[in-house]
Amino acid sequence: MAGTVAILGGTGQQGGGLARRLAQAGVSVIVGSRDPDRARETVQSWAASRPIEVADYAGAVAAAQTTVLAVPFESVDTLLAAIGPHFAEDAVLVDVTVPITFAGGRMALVDVPEGSAAEHVRATLPLRVGLACAFKTIPARLLAALDAPLDCDEFICGDSDAARARAAALAALLPGLRTVDVGPLVRARSIEHMTALAIAINRRHKVHDARFRVVGI
């Protein structure tokens, strides 16, 4: 079980969509925010079916078994430095960041020295915290449209079976999402490239919610 879930960046489109969909599925959700007062206003405006708590980043992490990292990739380093000491025993971090840049109007993945955002996170996260990836290829806009069927596959990778299982359990709570375990954390390189490809397809085909299904499993 995922236990209490903290969502850092939980008032953004992606984090907010996850927070509301997980709450709808019966999960105890805490939105972690840099500005809890403003976050509380946003959360109240959702009129969620189940109360969603709000805390600062460190407080949210400390109270959760599973933490979802849904801040922009640029904010990851500062955030991880601040929350590192606060993770509970057996905590798992679920990274959903993708280092996309639109510099000069051209969409590209930022060249992350470790190979992927997930591996970059691993290099900073305390070793005792398990790390998995999920929700990287599902369009934020679709997540935030609570009534929209997700209707796609979600790729899970991670640094241990336990971390992957935790992320898969979260994803399994969202109707219309099939989880596909793709193995070790290094596979995040490919998963993040799929996000880039989905964005390229959106732009080229003038759609908004391109996403993927695996055929043959």
Note the residues at the interface with its own copies (CB under 8 A): 108-109, 139, 151-152, 155, 180-183, 186-187, 189-191, 193-194, 196-198, 200-201, 203-205, 207-217
The distance of closest approach from Cβ of residue 59 to its own copies in the complex, given in angstroms and rounded to an integer, is 37
Looking at beta carbons only, is 1 or 215 nearer to its own copies? 215
Looking at beta carbons only, is 29 or 152 nearer to its own copies? 152
**164, 181 in Cβ contact below 8 A?**
yes
The distance of closest approach from Cβ of residue 175 to its own copies in the complex, given in angstroms and rounded to an integer, is 15
Looking at beta carbons only, is 47 or 103 nearer to its own copies? 103
The distance of closest approach from Cβ of residue 27 to its own copies in the complex, given in angstroms and rounded to an integer, is 25
- Tokens for 56? 């600062």
The distance of closest approach from Cβ of residue 106 to its own copies in the complex, given in angstroms and rounded to an integer, is 8
The distance of closest approach from Cβ of residue 32 to its own copies in the complex, given in angstroms and rounded to an integer, is 30
The C-alpha atoms of residue 155 and residue 152 are separated, in whole angstroms, by 10
Looking at beta carbons only, is 39 or 143 nearer to its own copies? 143
Phi and psi for 57 in degrees, rounded to 5?
Answer: -55, -55
* C-alpha dist (Å) from residue 123 to 15, 22, 59, 132: 23, 28, 23, 13
The C-alpha atoms of residue 83 and residue 59 are separated, in whole angstroms, by 9
Q: Kindly report the CA angle at 8 between 141 and 169, in degrees rounded to 5?
A: 75
The C-alpha atoms of residue 176 and residue 47 are separated, in whole angstroms, by 23
**How many CB atoms sit inside 10 A of residue 44's CB?**
11
Looking at beta carbons only, is 58 or 100 nearer to its own copies? 100
